[in-house]
Structure 1
Amino acid sequence: MRIALIHALRHSPPPIEAAFAELWPQATLMNLLDDSLSSDLARDGEITAAITQRFLDLAQYARRAGAEAILFSCSAFGPCIETVKRELAPMPVLKPNEAMIEEAQAFGGKVGLLASFAPTLVSMPPEFPAGLTVVPKLAEGALAALDRGDGPEHDRLAVRAAAKLGECTVIALGQFSLARAAAAIAAATGRPVLTTPASAVRKLRTMMRLPIKSTV
């Protein structure tokens, strides 16, 4: 079964590939990356019609290449992915964060939303259901550290930011690239930590009518 993974940040493929290796090793993965999407969004300050069309182009290419489902890893582009869902229906198309949001609901209380890409904290909180309190927090400098190849500094900054979410019931990591720091964040905060890659793979297996291999 071929699953297309579409990315707007170059750090996203490794964590989702690791999640598939653990939870669904039989899947055949197809990675499509356009990291200029994230820089263009940061420059423009909003999702434009041109950016949405580029998402459609990538998704349509994936379908032509034989993908049976698409998982996006770019949480700041929710409206673009909704457009793709409508255009490619009934093909399974999954937003990067929808599975994690569903799992976060089970914890109730306050959900700490940690992101390393600032636009995520604009686009993602409205996707949580009404009645669930979302506490957004930016891990300032973490993405820049990862961009220059300093993984330990990325993780340190992520942990430092997450420590300020101590009043939350659960911490949700808004970028696929943050998954690498999940264990350190859990150890530092004593809170359950949800990652977009693991949640997404579990939901994809369900959408494709396969048993869930493991749970949170």
Structure 2
Amino acid sequence: MQKLGIIHTVSRLAPVFDGLVGEYLPGVGTVVIADELLLQRTIRDGAVDGITRERLAQHVEQLASYGVDAVLVTCSSVGAAVDELAATSEVPVLRVDRAMAERAVGMGRTIGVLATLPTTLVPTVDLVRSAADGQARDVTILPRLCEGAFDALGRGDVELHDAIIADELDQLVAQVDVVVLAQASMARVAEGRETGGVPVLSSPRLAIEQIAQSIATPL
């Protein structure tokens, strides 16, 4: 792999992925598109609409025509649209949370899914269920929405955002074998937090690790 295309819907996550690419994919260049409107429309409408699908498809096409070897979409809320594009794109199109979901279903029978947005919670739950079906595993999924956390972050109240997530996480780890964080931005809240030995998975590192592992074999 020479070039990896990355599509962000949250611009502030770009440094996180830049660091991971440098760590796991030395020598691989990145071509980045940031389009926050993709996520904002999805939040506003409660689902991925036709305009968002078309914008995402255009971004993938632009990256493919530029010559990237694969495209990683870092937004879980548009995950279903990513899967649709992957079926027809001339280059591999990868959703950021698939490696996380596949890892989670191999780690336990009861899986907690934590999110700050309904538009992220639903597709992540669906993905975990699909991953479990793909591995012929019988799992129970416990979804939890961190009510008010996203609005707090939008107001600049990072402390309240983090506190809401931490409280929901503390409750969830007592009920499950593994927790999946539906949004990459939640990872820092879980870092270093006592979870009683319950694994807490986040998507960015696992996604880049999976790409690195696949380089020996064409994607």
The TM-score normalised by the length of structure 1 is 0.86
Instruction: Give 1:145's aligned residue.
Output: 152
- Does the 8 A contact of 1:182 with 1:195 survive in 2? no
Distance 1:78 1:35, change over 3 A: same
What RMSD in Å do the two structures reach over aligned CA positions? 2.0
How far is 1:189 from its partner? 5.0
CA distance in 1, matches of 2:57, 2:6: 14
- Does the 8 A contact of 1:4 with 1:69 survive in 2? yes
Instruction: Give 1:168's aligned residue.
Output: 176
Consecutive unaligned residues in structure 2, runs of 5 or more: none
Q: Please list, as runs of the form range in 1=range in 2, the aligned pairs for 1:19-98 lying within 5 A after superposition.
A: 19-89=20-90, 91-98=91-98
When structure 1 is superposed on structure 2, of 198-207 and 39-48 the one drifting more is 39-48
Deviations 1:124-152 (A, max 9, x none): 21222242221111222333333344444
How far is 1:66 from its partner? 2.4
Deviations 1:86-134 (A, max 9, x none): 2214x22211111001111221221111112221112221222242221
The TM-score normalised by the length of structure 2 is 0.85
Percent identity, please: 28
CA distance in 2, matches of 1:177, 1:88: 28
Q: Please list, as runs of the form range in 1=range in 2, the aligned pairs for 1:76-155 lying within 5 A after superposition.
A: 76-89=77-90, 91-128=91-128, 129-130=132-133, 131-155=138-162
- Does the 8 A contact of 1:15 with 1:179 survive in 2? no
Distance 1:20 1:147, change over 3 A: farther
Q: Please list, as runs of the form range in 1=range in 2, the aligned pairs for 1:200-215 lying within 5 A after superposition.
A: 200-209=207-216
Q: Which amino acid letter does the alignment assign opposite residue 178 of structure 2?
A: V
Distance 1:70 1:206, change over 3 A: same
Instruction: Give 1:214's aligned residue.
Output: none
Distance 1:86 1:108, change over 3 A: same
Deviations 1:183-213 (A, max 9, x none): 144x255421111001101111123227xxx
Instruction: Give 2:205's aligned residue.
Output: 198
Distance 1:180 1:203, change over 3 A: same
CA distance in 2, matches of 1:110, 1:34: 35
Q: Which amino acid letter does the alignment assign opposite residue 71 of structure 1?
A: L
Instruction: Give 2:190's aligned residue.
Output: 182
Distance 1:57 1:181, change over 3 A: same
Deviations 1:58-111 (A, max 9, x none): 11111122221111111111221012212214x222111110011112212211
Q: Please list, as runs of the form range in 1=range in 2, the aligned pairs for 1:3-22 lying within 5 A after superposition.
A: 3-22=4-23
Q: How many residues align?
A: 208
Match of 2:114, SS? strand
